[in-house]
Amino acid sequence: MKFIETRGNDSQPQHPLKVEFSDAILGPIASFGGIYAPESLPDLGLEFLSSHLDSNYKQLAKSLLQAFEIDIEEAVIDEALSLYDKFDDPADPVPLVKYKDDVFVSELYHGPTRAFKDMALQPFGVLLAAMAEKRNENYLILAATSGDTGPAALDTFKNRKRVQVACMYPEGGTSDVQRLQMVTEDADNLKVIGIHGNFDDAQKALKHLLGSKSFKETLKAKDIHLSAANSVNFGRIIFQIIYHIHSYLELVRSNEISLGDPIYIAVPSGNFGNALGCYYAMKMGLPVEKIIISTNNNNVLKGLINNGSYDFRETSLIQTLSPAMDIQKASNVERILFDMFGTERTHELMKQLDEERFYNLTESEHEQIKAVFVADDCNDEETVAYVKQCFNDGYLMDPHTATCIKALETCRDKPLKTVITSTAEWTKFSMTTAEAIGSDAGDSDLDALKNISAKANIPVPAQISALFDMPITQTTLIDKEDIEKTILSFL
């Protein structure tokens, strides 16, 4: 399968018309600042689903990767997928838990950093490092994080040969646990950079550097190539398709639905990669009625889906109790535009967004969006109330996942089974969780974790509790204008 550019081709020699999967991973930014998307999608349908009713997660994942015909050796794929054995339960790395009769939670956070980013970044790290070794090339991997991509990227790439990672995060824009997961990393090939700014600033810097000719030339003089761990990289997205299919099959296996029955899938969305993975699964034949998008007060995605307008001209990014969703410019919407409207229109819309901070869809374009997605937002007060409600119902939920509960109440118009994709464990956001369930938050995240654990009778995972005894090794905090200089100094 080939991958093509979302904004068309600029005829430059470094941007061929079509690339292999490995090339899209190693060089994720395409012509005109665009990204790569599959030229076509495999048509899987019910036959594929039926054939995997008895498959475990790794078998399903391998079959889907093979359906994409990616140019990666089978032994490397097997090694990459073997990292799911590091999850809490190797036999069931993605548990599907029943919350209510018609609502199920896909717990995507049972990996080493307790967030759904592990589902993609654990195997992705193996793939990229193997390709770098095969090509005898050195790589700088850039990551911008609103809280979870950073820890997951640092974990998967630490101490890997031929790979260095520079990870940017907004100071004050992550939870304390997320920050500790980054600033306690001590591998020589990792650099963590706190910036005075927000996630959009970090992501803008990442995309600027990925597209900067002078930055690439400076790296070339150091014999270093450039790539990214954010979901602008399709190497992330391909692994985010799998767990949506897995959740559907789990419903069939537990006799909650029959094969072919449609379901809703609800996604708490920030950069839209999780939702994009669901969209691709739907296009490939997964019976999904609608994809329900929940946002927080940074509700630009709600505006796009409900009104056909992507507009943040009059707003600034708001820090909320669901910080991983504190994003205004969601990169993966571009792949939706490309798939629905083609390269010329995508180029036009993204150019307007880059320059004017808004675009409006035509009526017919908006109808195409609404045929797939529905959306609602959930403010902080509501989020706390939903965490409390879920806890009273017997389920401890993090504030990001809890935003979906409101969207289920307002967006479902059919009595269908629904899967909520739970993107992070409650331990990542203990102060908010403690407040919500009526536990004493204490003076620190550690106090809150202990008190929640006692009240809910749920243990704190060892990799989280250990963070508070680890030394701080990454202390860089800079203005966003100094990002490039700081990265080059690290190299």
Q: Does residue 367 surpass a pLDDT of 90? A: yes
Instruction: Kindly state the average pLDDT of the residues 280-299.
Output: 97
424 DSSP 8-state letter: B
Whether residue 476 is contained in a domain is answered as no
- What pLDDT score does 13 carry? 85
- What pLDDT score does 441 carry? 87
Whether residue 256 is contained in a domain is answered as yes
List, in order, residues 6 or more apart from 76 with CB less than 8 Å away: 126, 127, 130
178 alpha carbon, distance to own chain's centre: 15
Domains held by the chain: number: 1
Whether residue 175 is contained in a domain is answered as no
Question: Does the pTM of the predicted model rise above 0.85?
Answer: yes
Q: Does residue 147 surpass a pLDDT of 90? A: no
Are the C-beta atoms of residues 55 and 253 closer than 8 Å to each other? Answer: no
Whether residue 212 is contained in a domain is answered as no
List, in order, residues 6 or more apart from 11 with CB less than 8 Å away: none
Q: Does residue 37 surpass a pLDDT of 90? A: yes
Angle 487-489-491 from CA coordinates, rounded to 5°: 75
DSSP bridge pairs for 164: 140
Q: Does residue 175 surpass a pLDDT of 90? A: no
- What pLDDT score does 443 carry? 86
**CATH code: domain of residue 384:** 3.40.50.1100
Are the C-beta atoms of residues 231 and 271 closer than 8 Å to each other? Answer: yes
Whether residue 373 is contained in a domain is answered as yes
Whether residue 477 is contained in a domain is answered as no
Among all chains, which residue has been given the structure tokens 């992705």? 124
Q: Tell me the pLDDT tens digit for each residue of 38-59.
A: 999 999 999 999 999 999 999 9
Whether residue 26 is contained in a domain is answered as no
Cα 396 to Cα 387: distance, rounded to the nearest angstrom = 7
Structural domain range at position 403: 82-114+236-459
Q: Does residue 211 surpass a pLDDT of 90? A: no
Cα 97 to Cα 119: distance, rounded to the nearest angstrom = 17
> Residue type for 272, please?
F
% of the chain beyond a pLDDT of 70: 100
Whether residue 12 is contained in a domain is answered as no
> Residue type for 373, please?
F
Are the C-beta atoms of residues 293 and 375 closer than 8 Å to each other? Answer: yes
